[in-house]
Structure 1
Amino acid sequence: MTENVAQPIYDWEGFGFDTRQVHAGEYPDKNSGLRVPPIALSAGYLFDDFDDQVNRFNGSIHWRSDEHPGHGEPGGFSPSEHAPIYSRQGNPTNWVAEERLASLEGGTVSVAVASGQAAISAALFALAQQGEHIVSTGSIYGGTRILFGRSFKRFGIEFDYVWDADDDAEWERAIRPSTKAIYTETIPNPRNDITDLRRIAEVAARHNLPVVVDNTVGTPALIRPFEHGANIVVHSTTKFLTGHGAAVGGAVIDGGNFDWDAAERAGRSYPLITQSSRPGVPSMLDRFGRGAYARAVRESVVNDIGPTLSPLHGFLLHQGMETLSLRMERHVTSSLRVAAWLEQQPEVLSVDYAGLPSSPLHELAVRNYGADDAGRGRTGSVFGVTVRGGVDGARALVNGVRVFSRMTGIGDTRSMIIHPLTSTHGTFSPEINERLGITPGLLRLSVGLESADDLIRDLRSALDRVAAL
């Protein structure tokens, strides 16, 4: 009776973004016919037999050889990790989120981890080791700068910062023989000072360096860094990808587009990827090809250090991604309206939103993120606003809001507000904060999904307190 019935699709290559965000990565549940992939609460997995155990532990079940053909592309590349050993390395619930995110970003393989900080750490630990060096653009999330200057420093990995990404001389001064990557963000918070990824990718290509991009604020619904020359993308999935503030997570996505062999020939060695880890076993690159970097992240960093994503949070992540493009459209539309309104208020000194025509980054915003009907760039929903009165003005505004939540975090359905100078950037020197534009009166807004009219009324009421100072 079922011979003439069309079978469901499970390979979503070639389908549109909106379709893939709903379906990519899902798999048929053969036990009970569940339509939504279940939460797989199991620490370990059964082996079929002795040889299956051997193949899973030596990784040959995923190799690109003719003996172990994969199912992702000609040549046997296997994007999936559907033969797990232990949930520290992989979990069926998290596979759904991993494959969905890889599809949306346009990468090869995604590795889900426990937080955004874990994603950044895993991504860079797979590239650099003690005595080596990474170059970052100057304006990045405060927590990331703390991570680089504290934990990475303790591990012997050094960082330098480039403040003017258009200055070739500054790049040349920063990049060393020991440099292993360039790190940047699509939309840095709190000031929405977007980066020109193509320009950075050109610099990296000249030096045989991979470009690692944090796309947490941009999301693949607004910008896909691989299309602009990036090689590796990281996310705090806690934010817009999950979207509801109920789960913490992170992810590393391999673009599959970096030439590791060419880098090796140029003197930049990436031993976890290009060298054999033990006698008789080929390198990650020989075994996994375009997925070699992601496999190194999973096997040589995540497995060893253990920042495992809970399957419950993996479930909440792939559920959240189902509505990503719809939510981002609302986030951006409301943000443009709120930012443009704030710019006109007498209590406001400035608004840092690259999408506004008044921004010096507006042309880049339109080029990389597209424009709304009014010709304004669509650069997310996290931006800065500076009010009169310095810290006193900031305090008055924060204490006066009733719809905006006073809390850390971004990318929630709820709108949020925080004072960076006394929170996310509170440990930085005055000189660093001055260069970053973190002033006493600066506030970071994350515009949620509430009515824009209500958000504006809430801000107007709070600005009245600023005016009364």
Structure 2
Amino acid sequence: MTTSSKNPETIALHAGYRSDPTTTSVAVPIYQTTSYQFNSTEHASNLFSLKELGNIYTRIMNPTQAVLEERVAALEGGAAALAVSSGQAASLFAVQNICHAGDNFVCSTDIYGGTWNLFANTFETLGIECRFVDPADPENFARATDDKTRCYYGETLPNPKLRVFPIAEVAKIGDDLGVPLIMDNTAAPILCRPIDHGATISMHSTTKFIGGHGTSIGGIIVDSGRFDWEKHADRFPMLNTPDPSYHGAVWTEAVKPLGPIAYIIKARVTLLRDLGAAMSPFNAFMFIQGLETMALRVRQHSENASAVADYLSKHPKVTNVIHPSMQSGEDKRRAEKYMNGGYGALVGFELAGGAEAGQKFIDNLEMFYHVANIGDARSLAIHPATTTHSQLTPEEQEQTGVTEGYVRLSIGIEHIDDIIDDLDRGLEAVDSVPQSGSRSKSSKAAAPSGSNGQKANDEDRNGMPAVTPATLPVQGLPQKWV
């Protein structure tokens, strides 16, 4: 079923499905099958030659997955989507679909640590170069671009810096140079639609807010259908020259009868076929359930997180609060431009006592779960320097916004009083209290360039001096990219 509604609450419940055609079931069935009976040899041939779309094998498509794909594509304002087994698989496929050995792509330094490892290390073994640049100046993307650059990559609300990415500015640079922008929108579903601001591809780790309950692993890639791959044929030979892995198909030509979805079809029938990162039908079903309440959850996440940021900004043991509501200047302008109806669930903060203080805080929480996930209905906490970002070098940690005293919170939908009570409990156990006017070395490093990472106002709220943002150097990069 298609829906004419533009409201996400309605789209999340109705897009892509009305009832099961065989049983009339209102709930989307779990099609727990590997294979599908072809109507005839001609039908089978048409499916394999992409003359028509349909089910072939669950490694590359499944009816339960198809409902999820259509709903997320509708929510993101895209033409088509591809569900995969994890958010990491989505990041991998999104870039690898148009990059091969000898190519490069330009990526924001403000990204999740797991994505950094994938791009900096695993992609290097594939012969694909990732060029990291500071997104505070969008022109850094242009400076790092050459004739081998295949895409730009950023996170809408990057974890852990929470400095909203300049989507339209970088997308415009990409349009002028013939380079598509891929946006990881995991932390901002409902709140932002990157495609509306010029992104070519929007993707999610469905594990997080789409699922919403910490039950299933998955990812999804949404193709806007708006990028002219043929116009830039020299930059994208993988879409414009015969593909020996698929009977010499030229994807921009072969898929034209199906719509402007050459990118996503190629990802499905080559990368997903060959690498096998398929989402299980059961997980697709779980994500569909999550979608149905996502708009309600995201609003409550955002409301609670803003209240937590305000509470932390007044606490004497906290030296630095990282949340879009605490920003000023260009960062504030971008947050207001791109985020609609809230700033998401994530809050970061600094304790002067470094790693010892951060770990002691977490060890004394009772309601919060100490887990590596975000986007759960429950409140979650972690010390990134010793966990999620521990595999990065100190310089890489600094570039991504992680320091020894940094704690990341994913605020849930519990009652705000109970959330604050538990944070009080954790902070009470922390011994180190910063002296008036002082900041720890790690706290200084935590503040990214621009204006994120400060308390809300230049004047103090409780007798404590305001925190002034420090500049985050982008180390180890050619100067022309910085």
Q: Which residue of 1 aligns with 2:173?
A: 203
Identical columns (%): 34
Task: Indicate the SS of the match to 2:179.
Answer: coil
Equivalent position of 1:277 in the other structure: 243
State how far apart, in whole Å, the 2-side matches of 1:346 and 1:314 are: 45
Aligned twin of 1:61: 52
Q: For residue 406 of structure 1, what is the amino acid of its counterpart?
A: H
8 Å contact kept, 1:338–1:456: yes
Code of the aligned partner of 2:388? T
The Cα of 1:431 is off from its aligned counterpart by 1.8
- For structure 1, the 5+ residue unaligned runs are 1-9, 63-82, 372-377
82, 97, 100: which one aligns with 1:129: 100
Alpha-carbon deviations, 1:346-402, whole Å to 9, x = none?
00001110123558622221121136xxxxxx2211121111211121122111111
Say if 2:398 is the partner of 1:428: no
Aligned to 1:305: 275
CA distance in 2, matches of 1:104, 1:164: 26
Match of 2:3 among 12, 21, 34: 12
- Contact 2:30/2:282, CA 8 A, preserved across alignment: yes
In structure 2, the partner of 1:88 is 59
Matching residue of 2:446: none
Q: Which residue of the partner structure matches residue 325 of structure 1?
A: 295
Q: Superposed, which structure 2 residues align to 1:187-226 within 5 Å?
A: 187-219=157-189, 221-226=190-195
For 2:7 and 2:367, the matched residues in 1 are separated by 35
Listed as ranges, the matches of 1:48-447 within 5 Å are: 48-62=39-53, 83-166=54-137, 168=139, 170-219=140-189, 221-264=190-233, 267-271=234-238, 273-277=239-243, 283-289=250-256, 290-357=260-327, 361-370=331-340, 378-447=342-411
Moved more, 144-153 or 273-282: 273-282
Partner of 1:374: none
2:346 and 2:408 in contact (8 A); partners too: yes
Matched-pair contact (CA < 8 Å) for 1:189–1:383: no
Q: SS state of the match for residue 230, structure 2? A: helix
Instruction: Give the equivalent residue in structure 1 for 2:412.
Output: 448
Amino acid across the alignment from 1:120:
S
For the residue of structure 1 that corresponds to 2:105, the secondary structure is strand
Cα shift at 1:15: 4.5
For 2:383, the aligned partner's letter is: H
Query: Which residue type is aligned with residue 428 of structure 1?
Result: L
Q: Over aligned residues, Cα RMSD in angstroms?
A: 1.7
Shift of residue 336 of structure 1? Answer: 0.3
For structure 2, which runs of at least 5 residues remain unmatched after alignment?
Answer: 434-482
| 1:463 aligns with one of 423, 427, 448 | 427
TM-score by length of 1: 0.88
Which sits farther off after the overlay, 23-32 or 419-428?
23-32
Pairs aligned (count): 429
Q: 1:164 to 1:357 in 2, by over 3 A?
A: closer
C-alpha contact (below 8 Å) 1:388/1:466 kept by paired residues: no
Instruction: Give the conservation status (yes or no) of the 8 Å contact 2:321–2:350.
Output: yes
CA distance in 1, matches of 2:402, 2:203: 24
SS in 2 for 1:412: coil
* Distance of aligned partners of 1:360 and 1:401 in 2 relative to their CA distance in 1, 3 Å threshold: farther
Local SS of the residue matching 2:52:
helix
SS at 1:206 equivalent: helix
Q: Do 1:191 and 1:444's aligned partners in 2 also have CA atoms closer than 8 Å?
A: no
* Whole-angstrom distance in 1 between the partners of 2:64 and 2:196: 28
